[in-house]
Amino acid sequence: MRQLFSLIFLSLLSLSVSSVHPSSSSSDYHEQLVLRPLPLSALLASFNFRSNTTFSEFEARNFRLFPRSLAQILQHAGTRELHLRFSLGRWDAESWGARPWDGAREGGTGVELWAWLEADTDEEADHKWLILTNALSGLFCASLNFIDATRTTRPVMSFQPEGDHPNSTVTNMHLLYGVLPHEVVCTENLTPFLKLLPCKGKAGIATLLDGHKLFDASWQSMAIDIRPICPSGGECVLQIEQTIDMVLDIERSKRPRDNPIPRPPPGHELPCDTSKPYHSHDTCFPADYKANQDWSLSQVFGKTIKGTCPLMDPTNPPVCLQIPDSRTVYISDGVVEKKNPDRNSRCFDIPPTADFEMVVTPPSDDDAAQTSPGAVGVLQPETPLLYAERSFTGHGQERGGVQTILRNPSPDREVEFVYMETLPWFMRIYLHTMEARIAGHNAAHNASLIQQVSYRPALDRARGTQLEVRMRVPAASTVFLTYDFEKSILRYTEYPPDANRGFDVAAAVITILNSNADKDAAGGRSAVYTLRTTSLLCSLPTPDFSMPYNVIIFTSTAIALAFGGMFNIIVRRFVAADEGPEVGLGALTGRLKGRLNGLLERLRRRTGNK
Amino acid sequence: MTPRKQPPPESPSDIRRRTHVILSFWLIILFLGLPIWWWTTTIYRARLPLQEMLEWADGKACRPVFPLRISIQANSLQEQEAQNLLRLTQHALDDLNDFSGHHLRLQLSPPSSDAKQTHDSGSALTIRLIPGETTTATLDPLEPVLDITYPPNAIPLPTSSSSTLATYVAAQLRSTFAEEQATISYLLSTNAIPSEHRPQGLSPEAAESLSKRTTRSLKYAPTYHLTFSLFTSGPLPSSWDIEAAIDEYMKPVLDVLSPIHNFTIDTQVQLYATPGVQNQVLNKEDLSSFINAAEWPLSPSIGGAPTINFIVFVGNQTIAAASQSPEDASGSESSAAHSWLIPQWGTVYLLSLPLDVTHLSVASLKQPLLTFTSHLLSLTGTPQSGSLPLRLSTLARIRSADLLLRASSTLGSLARLALALPSISIPRSVADGVAKTMAHLRLACETLGGAEGLAHARIAEAEAERAFFEKSMVGQLYFPDEHKIAVYLPLLGPVAVPLVLGLINELKAWSKRRREMAKRGEEKKRE
Amino acid sequence: MPTPNVAGFSTLRARAYLFRLPLFTRAVLAAIGLFWILGVQVWWDVRAWGALVPDKLGFATLYRLNTFPFIHLNVFHALMNALALTPLLERFESEYGTLTSLALFFGPLTTLPAFMYVAVEKWILRADTAVMGASMWVFVLLGMEAIRTYKANPYLVVGTHHIPTWTTPIALLLCVAALVPSSSFLGHLAGLLVGYICGLGYLKFLAPPERVLRWVEGKLNLLGRLPHYVSVDQKTYGRFGVLPSSGSPPPTSVALPLYPYPVPEHQAQPSRESFCEEHLGTAAGQDAKITSALQLRRDPRILKLPPYLSLLFVVVGAVWLFLLPLDQYSRRTYISENALLPGQVHTYFGGSDQNVFRAYKHEVNALAGKSNVEINNSLEPIVKGLGLKTARQNFTYHAAGRTYAGENLYAILQAPRGDATEAIVLVAAWENVKHELNRNGIPLALTLARYFKRWSLWSKDIILLLTPDSIAGPQAWVDAYHDAHDPSRVASLPLKSGLLQGAIAIDYAQEGRFESLHIVYDGVNGQLPNLDLINSVVSIARGQMGIDVALQEMWRHSDDYKDRLRTMLRGMLKQGLGLASGPHSSFIPYHVDAVTLRPFGEGWQDEMALGRVVEGSFRSLNNLLEHLHQSFFFYLLMHRERFVSIGTYLPSAMLVAANFTIMAIALWVKSGHSEGGGQATADSKTVTPANHAAERDLSLPLGVVTLCQVLSVIPLYLFNHVPESALTPLFITFALLNTLLPPVLSHLLATKTTFTLAQYDLVQCFSLLLLGMFLSSLATLNFSLALIIGLLAAPLSFVRPFSPSPTSGLKRIACAVLLNAVSPTAVLLAGALYWRLDVRSVLRDAAVAWHVTGTYSPVVVWCVWWPAWLAGQLIVLARPAPASASARRSNGAWAGDDGKVKGE
């Protein structure tokens, strides 16, 4: 919350009117980088690129700021609103606090896509969805085309359109949601992402974006949001917003590119806690929290910002740093520093062509004294509305359970939210086992926790389970949400090449609803905060793939043998031994003799007849 | 050894039971097992009219003939004079014509009251005979009308067997339709068409130029997607008045082309675009690699329609004069120095501007757009001679012939595929596609040269493509025979042996019983 | 007829047999012996003189044709041939008479094969190999035997195949050629051929005419003079006056040469035989099959066979085990999961990390002796300071009257860029299994955690687990991690990560530097980690760090047979006991592959080296894309680079288990035959063993077996729930009861009920059946346990009730005492004494294992082994009631049987 506020505030406050290009004054393009040091020597860098295109231009297909390749996909697939997420790693809420953008600009691990398509029937919507995913997978080099019917769901409560749509279209807008938890986000996804920007990676804050750094981050999320905005009075515009948030480990990213190996530093460089009695030249109790409080852009990102994008709206500063005023920051000349009255952030205006470098000095010791170790000289992270942690329970390959621990830190206000699970079809959940209980209370309290459940059961090999639960967590309490499921056995062609790794289960999406909105319209309540759990790895019973044919042959032989036995028993006759034909070699010879004699007889008769 | 006892005679009920058991086993196998096995393991192959398809491919099915009706308006002549002239001219034409596939037929349009009356739509060309002092021929730029003035003495007498005027008219017509005829004959010759349709006189160099032109032009599509891109090497300029420019300079041509093609247009601006070739002066070999396919967002438009790219690149690079190829010189010389045409892809125009220009005005876009227009025509494969309306009608005929041929060749290859791969499955949809294709091909073949002919050919071609690129046909499962053996043998072998043995024994026993019964019968008789 | 038992195969019988050997046979044996003695002296080379050398075969040396059978290479050769020859020759002679044998064996039967051999060897193969030895005769006789057997029953039925019986000698021939070194295949073949020819009777003309023999006999009165002389007349009706006819034995007599030659009374009544046979498919082969099978079934020798068979099985099973360490049977280890790439990465742990390590060590030393909670209180901030998420878990176990309570401290190093889907565990217990303070392990683990935090390449979370002890702590943690815990005793985990992919425990209690590394890998209940894990640790330690690796406390391992065997046996013992051997043990039941690294010895390797080993292993585990599944989960390690896989070792346990089943089946069949002939044991002439079928009454035997099984619950419960202090007295009392219980029971049975021999058979049958069943299924889970129990219980399948006779009382007592020596209690005591443990601690450990780690060895001991033993003891002490009644019943039953069969 506070971040957004400060952003708006800054854009109002910044007074610079030094418009460099006459053209850019008319342009509607904003980009901003917000840097925020986090405890434990982490640094949150959130890039935001936003541009508007009027509907008329969009319909006329005159694309200036809006990427043409994306636009024609949208037009072809009849997409009204699109949200695409590439995420990696996990946000450490305990130490980093609330998520940037209140979690609105991030997805679960892997790729996440949801969109509102304009279609009259569900079939048409599915068809358009297919087109959309295929086209996007081509555009972003991600295997989005694997989002098939089994991975697609139609959430009911969790997502609300962010843009303002005319009521005429709202009626036949279909929300489809697909997620690929196994997808590994990497550089090949970043490059097309940058290509969508008007200034590419060539100018402005985008110059900092570099695959090596981005994908070495502890947590990173790339987001693309396209939504129609209709300002009151003004013409409706189509807004595309690209966001990249990443949490860099300062210590790690300060390592030079050519030598990234964390060799132990020389003994004398080791920050030690000298207060320890046994401290000596070869004994050192590490004081890591002191280290890595000082950093500079070029150290962390490997380069400096090259000027600004000429299309950028110069009225709001491109770079902001959220750090107490007590810390001193050195910046390259020509750059204007503007401190924010809340004494917790400052912004920088960058001349269009100059490079921008920034050096943050280590905090002073008195500063270190008053705050807890690990969080020295950084803003105290604000506590999120809810902590969520999901994990599997049980073991073995037949059935298991899922347990989500939801903790409400706030002492006074209860949290109401929608918990959404998208499960693959081979996890057959037992809905009757789903229960929510407050830790350390008896069952009486648990009754009212779950308020509404919307459940769409899975069909084998056709579609996955979709489970949405609207529930509440009372103030200052922890709720366990658990349910059991059964693992089904796949056909052996359905296993992926690395079957023994297990199958990824997508992250659960938790959408915290606006509590002061009216209760009755549960569907339409706006989300104040969104968070996602980590994804899970579900291990299914896996056959030994080296021997399908052996199995076929073995079983069929067994069947055949059984059949033979049964058949004989049915059709054969049993008599006493001495009644049966004679036994042994004698019998054989006897029979032969008989045959021979018969032949001879016949011959003789013939001759006789002649 | 003690003498063997005989087993007690088996009760008939047991014998019957055994017989029934064995019989029922065999019945189940024959009437349940085999059908199920057969039904589950056969590959569905829809019946295709392979023979006809191949005939189409060989051009036996349809003989592409373009009867061109040419009406003569001779308001100033009397009926029989005109008729006479007409006859003579027709004779002259037939003497000249060597290509049966492309035939001009003259007809006399009823003398109309006013001279300003336009030509009737049915005919490809109208000849207006106007009395004058000398014989001249002029093509009307806006209408397919050929004005011919003739001296009064040129009218042939009813008795005379030849006339200068007639030969003159014939020659004029011939020259007018020469290119079209050449192109069509070239198309026929490139496709597998039996030789009797082949045109005789097609000079190699003519064929060469024709082939160049056809390779350069895009494959026919009902809709073309035009993408106008402004690439700037630096941050500027970042905006342009492309819409206005298009309306001004390109719209007319597009409107004219509209009966044959629809066009969708989009435009984009891309800053900081680095070309694939960095050096200052571009040589001929640089031109091909100038487009930076990796960086520039020039992805072809989704949804079928082929994309034609028109790129204005703002930079300070120029083209070396030596690298001008003759066909690029087709445009005006000034544009040639800045632009080149990339076959079947589009055009690049190098625009060098002063540094501080931030906005491209309509005026500065004039030259590029004119170049684009001319290149658009050659990209769509429009012939170059003759007046514009004539060129367009010609284009229609060429296109329909082209489509017809392509569709039938596709049919042929599909047939060959079906013959070559006996194990490939042919879904019903393919069969339907083929049927539809052939139906439309017939229609197209009948109404060749006309507008509906083009439409039919278009549909036929699309259907043929769809049938040929059927997905479910492509993914055919490979299941070698030794695997089948590996699966079947262990199961069927051991099962079959007892069954067969049981059957044989049963038959033996049965025949034995028969014999005994017969013997007993005889004995009875004897008694 | 006396039922076969250990004592039943008596030396008496063997001696009698030897004494009955006829003349010519003795002569031949004597000759062989003589020539061997001659061969001992040096100055005259008998072998050179007598052997059959193709080249030396001139007219003057024709004597070789007759001498070579007597001459042998060495004593074994001689002995073997003699053993093989004796029964055959004895039989031959007793049928054809001494004179004939003499004539034949110094004439055609020797010379023909010899000539054959020489011809082939000299003129076809152009070789010159000297042959000697009586084996050629053996094959001649075998050939004749085989032909005769073939006439009787043409086919041997194995599964669905019909093997003509005349081929059996060929099989033997091949075996000999393959197995016995320097045996002359050609010579044997020649012998066999002649044997066949002779057997088919084409050599009859060579035999001296009968009347001549008679005349000679009469003139010289050989019958009077020579002892053991077999007369010509005798031969006409063989030894016992019965025609050698189609009923002659199947080649089993060859298989057991020591076996007294059959008493073929059963041939007397072929006409009474009446059995099923199928009629439709009238193939002679099938008929023959059935007859032969049935003849086999009703052959008394078949009833005698099982004891020897099962004895054979036990012996083979035991021997098999000792073959495993040989190179031919064990394999070199290899890494089959290619993703592991052990030792392919540089390890950088060290340098200034050593300073940190020292600091942490100071901290840990300061905490020595503090309470668990204090320790955690001071360790947690350190771990938190490293930027790890920490959490604690309380657990309380009650076992053997004690409470094992504690608090686990664990921390999760979240993989940067990772997503909590997979995790690796680094375990360091505060004190190891021997309750020594893990004074270097804990600091090392902390330092490693700090070092790992610096890397960004982890694809899996790393969980640092610090437990107060080595057994209960890890167990509680793992149980809770997989939600298999009992919430009342073990707290749930507040913090979790993904699937556990592997775990490595550091147990570094010794001070100072170490020499080499000891990998402890046994899991609970003898489950083992994937072999790939051990292999990769080994290859990292040895290949990369140059640290030697030891297994199973074999501190010195010279890779020879003895050490390998010892390693393997130790491993098997550990596996059999199924106790947790370290912090890693509790992971393995959850399919989490884990090992404990324990440095030992005085060397120059320091903590950093161990740290690098751990780092390398973690890097390897980190590479894993899939859960470890490629390599073996069932194996016996006998050296750090040698192992045996389940396919190779399982048969031994299975054989041992099978011997019980066989005996059970045999007893079942036997109990089906009335022992009506039981009194007639004296004269073996008129015994009619197999022809009566008695109907079995099962109620009592089943009752007894069930009783035994039910009783077994008592010790199981007691030993697991009695407080530690009471364990020793309980054990003593139980041991005493254990010795007293069987006599009491058997007395009750003898007095209160009329327990016939057949019923005793059934009791034993059922108990053995159960035992065999349990063990064979157990062998697939815990091979070693099954094998150990099987071997210890092996005697049970051979004990038999003693027939009431004056001496049997003593025998019975002796046998009972012997059996007591292998009772569970006695074995337990002996084991405790051998390893110098006191019984109390052993029992306590067992109880703890039962309660904490869920070891099921006690169940196997008390509920599988003990009841079987009890039943066995009952059998030994049995006093069967006379069973005339049952005999009568059986006759009635027999008719009914007939009727049933004839049914159609």
- Do B331 and B419 lie in one domain? The reply is no
Q: How large is the average pLDDT for residues C211-238?
A: 69
Q: Which of A23, A69, A310 has its CB closest to that of B299?
A: A69
Closest-CA residue of A relative to B241 is A62
| Residue A344's pLDDT band (cuts 50, 70, 90) | confident
Which of C270, C271, C281 has the CB atom closest to B505's CB atom?
C281
Token output for A453: 């459940």
| Boundary of a domain, candidates B449, B474, B499 | B474
Cβ distance of B2 and C271 shorter than 8 Å: yes
Q: In this structure, are B55 and B96 located in the same domain?
A: no
Find, among B362, B361, B374, the residue nearest to B334 by Cα: B374
Choosing among B271, B356, B504, which should be mutated to test the A contact, i.e. which has the most A CBs within 10 A?
Answer: B271
Q: Using an 8 Å CB-CB cutoff, list chain B residues near C247.
A: none
- The rounded distance, in Å, linking the Cα atoms of C455 and A260 is 9
Instruction: Write out pLDDT tens, residues B132-161.
Output: 777 777 777 667 777 777 777 767 666 666
Q: Which residue has the tokens 């031959």?
A: C92
Do residues B447 and B394 touch, judged by C-beta distance below 8 A?
no
Neighbours of C607 (CB within 10 A): 25
Q: How many CB pairs under 8 A join B and C?
A: 7
Q: What is the mean pLDDT of residues C268-275?
A: 36
Among residues B415, B287, C362, the alpha carbon closest in space to that of A279 is found at C362
Residues whose CB is less than 8 angstroms from the CB of residue A559 and which lie 6 or more positions away in sequence, other chains included = B491, B495
Q: Please tell me which of A7-16, B6-15, C651-660 the model is most confident about, judged by mean pLDDT.
A: C651-660
Domain span holding position B371: 218-379
**Residue B196, in any domain of the structure:** no
- The pLDDT value recorded for residue C733 is 93
B21 touches chain C (CB under 8 A): no
Strands (E), C141-198: 155-158, 161-164
Count of the separate structural domains present in chain B: 4
In a domain, B351, yes or no: yes
* pTM of the predicted model as reported, rounded to 2 decimal places: 0.74
Which token pair is B424? Answer: 């490939």
One domain for residues B280 and B391: no
What is the rounded distance in angstroms from the CA atom of residue B188 to the CA atom of residue B167? 28
- Put simply, whether C211 touches A (Cβ < 8 Å) is no
Task: Identify the closest residue of chain C to B498 by CA–CA distance.
Answer: C281
Which residues of C are less than 8 Å from B2 in CB distance?
A: 270-271
Based on the domain organization, do B230 and B360 belong to the same domain? yes
Rounded distance between C-alpha atoms, residue C182 and residue C133, angstroms: 12
The answer to whether C287 contacts A216, with C-beta atoms less than 8 Å apart, is: no
Structure confidence at residue C610 (pLDDT): 94
Is the CB of residue C160 less than 8 Å away from at least one CB of chain B?
no
Give the burial class of C90: count Cβ atoms within 10 A of its Cβ; 0-12 exposed, 13-18 middle, 19 or more buried. Answer: buried
CA distances (Å), A397 to each of A70, A541, C633, in order? 43, 5, 17
Strands (E), A119-197: 152-153, 173-180
The reported pLDDT for the residue numbered A26 is 45
Give, as one character, the DSSP assignment of residue C60. T
pLDDT of residue A117: 92
**Strand C635-639 versus strand C642-645 pairing type:** antiparallel
Q: Do residues B227 and B249 both lie within one domain?
A: yes
Chain C residues closer than 8 Å to B505 by CB: 280-281
Arithmetic mean of pLDDT, C171-199: 80
Q: What is the mean pLDDT of residues C627-650?
A: 88
CA angle A111, A117, A122 (to 5 degrees): 105
Q: What is the pLDDT of residue C49?
A: 78
What is the number of alpha carbons within 13 Å of residue C479 lying toward its C-beta? 23
**From the CB of residue B365, how many other CB atoms can be counted at a distance below 10 Å?**
24
CB C277, CB C287: distance < 8 Å: yes
Per cent of chain C over pLDDT 70 is 85
CB contact under 8 A, A576 and C901: yes
Q: Looking at chain C, how many residues does it have?
A: 904
Q: Is C245 an interface residue toward A (CB < 8 Å)? A: no
Chain A contact for C151, CB < 8 A? Answer: yes
CA–CA gap between residue C415 and residue C155 (Å, rounded): 70
User: Do B132 and B231 fall into the same domain?
Assistant: no
Asked if residue B293 is part of any domain, the answer here is: yes
Asked if the model's pLDDT at residue B510 lies above 90, the reply is no
What CATH number labels A387-538? 2.60.40.740
Minimum CA–CA partner of A543 in chain C: C629
pLDDT: which is higher, B301 or B241: B241
Considering only B323-332, C583-592, C834-843, which range has the smallest mean pLDDT? B323-332
Selected residues 488-517 of chain C with any CB under 8 Å from a CB in chain A: 494-499
Distance CA C564, CA C333 (A): 14
User: Residues A250, A300: contact at Cβ < 8 Å?
Assistant: yes
Q: Where are the beta strands (DSSP E) in A340-380?
A: 346-349, 355-356, 358-360
- Cα B168 to Cα C825: distance, rounded to the nearest angstrom: 131
Q: What is the dihedral of CA C729, C731, C735, C741, to 10 degrees?
A: 90
Dihedral sign, Cα of residue C431, residue C434, residue C440, residue C441: negative
CATH number of domain containing B294: 3.40.390
| B523 and B392 housed in the same domain | no
**pLDDT in the model for residue A445:** 66
Give the burial string for A460-484 (b: 16+ CB within 10 Å, else e).
Answer: eeebbbbbbbbbbbbeebbbbbbbb
DSSP state of B313: E
Cβ–Cβ < 8 Å for A241, A225: yes
Does residue B237 have a cis bond before it (omega within 30 degrees)? yes
Nearest Cα of chain B lies from the Cα of C246 at a distance, in angstroms, of 10
Domain boundaries, chain A: 28-253+287-369, 387-538
Cβ count within 10 A of residue C600: 16
Q: Are residues B391 and B464 in the same domain?
A: yes
Chains touching B (at least 3 CB pairs under 8 A) are A, C
Q: Using CB atoms, pick whichever of A286, A534, A536 lies closest to residue C356.
A: A286
Q: Tell me, yes or no, whether B408 and B493 share the same domain.
A: no
Angle at B74 (CA atoms; ends B68, B75), nearest 5 degrees = 135
Instruction: Judge whether residue C307 has pLDDT over 60.
Output: yes
Interatomic CA distance for residues C691 and C685, integer angstroms: 15
Q: Is C678 left (phi over 0), alpha (psi -120 to 50) or beta?
A: alpha
Residue A485: strand, helix, or coil = strand
Tell me, what amino acid is at C532?
Answer: D
CATH label of the domain that carries residue B81: 3.30.379
Please determine, for residue A4, whether its predicted confidence score (pLDDT) is greater than 50: no
Task: Closest CB to A583: pick one of C281, C288, C421.
Answer: C288
The chain B residue lying nearest A201, using CA atoms, is: B272
Q: Does the beta-carbon distance from C416 to A218 stay under 8 Å?
A: yes
Q: Where are the beta strands (DSSP E) in C434-507?
A: 461-467, 499-506
Shared domain for B292 and B256, answered yes or no, is yes
Sequence-ordered strand ranges (E) for A90-129? 110-118
The answer to whether the CB atoms of B491 and A556 lie below 8 A apart is: yes
Q: Which residues pair with A360 in a beta bridge?
A: A295, A329
Catalytic residues of C: 135, 188
A69/B297 touch (CB, cutoff 8 Å), yes or no: yes
Distance from CA of C187 to the nearest CA of A (A): 30
Task: Examine residue B209 and state whether it is found in any structural domain, yes or no.
Answer: no
Q: Give the 3-state DSSP-derived string for C28-58, with helices as H, strands as E and coil as C.
A: HHHHHHHHHHHHHCCCCCHHHHHCECCCCCC
Residue B466: burial class (beta carbons within 10 Å; 0-12, 13-18, 19+): middle
Amino acid residing at B410 = T
Q: Which long-range contacts (CB under 8 A, 24 or more apart) does B250-253 make?
A: B250/B369, B250/B372, B250/B373, B250/B376, B253/B373, B253/B376, B253/B377
pLDDT (tens digit per residue) in C798-853:
888 887 777 777 888 888 888 898 999 999 999 999 998 888 889 998 999 999 99
Phi-psi region of B120 (alpha: psi -120 to 50; beta: other; left: phi over 0): beta
Asked if C280 is an interface residue toward chain B (Cβ–Cβ < 8 A), one would say yes
Q: Which residues of C touch A480 (CB under 8 A)?
A: none
Contact call for C627 and A282, based on CB within 8 A: no
Nearest to B267 among A63, A311, A549 (CB): A63
What are the pLDDT digits (tens) for A364-388? 765 555 555 556 677 888 889 999 9
pLDDT > 90 in chain A, percent: 21
- ipTM for the whole complex: 0.77
> Shortest CA distance to B229 belongs to which of B171, B309, B315, B338?
B309
- The mean per-residue pLDDT over the stretch A288-310 comes to 79
Q: What whole-number distance in Å separates Cα of residue C139 and Cα of residue C133?
A: 11
Residue of A nearest to B232 (CA): A199
C360-373: average pLDDT:
90
- The whole-number pLDDT of residue A339 equals 84
Residue A494 sits at φ, ψ, to 5 deg, of -85, -5
Fill in the DSSP letter of residue A280. Answer: B
* Residue C581 C-beta-side C-alpha neighbours within 13 Å: 29
Q: Is residue B188 part of a domain?
A: no
Mean pLDDT on C847-867: 92
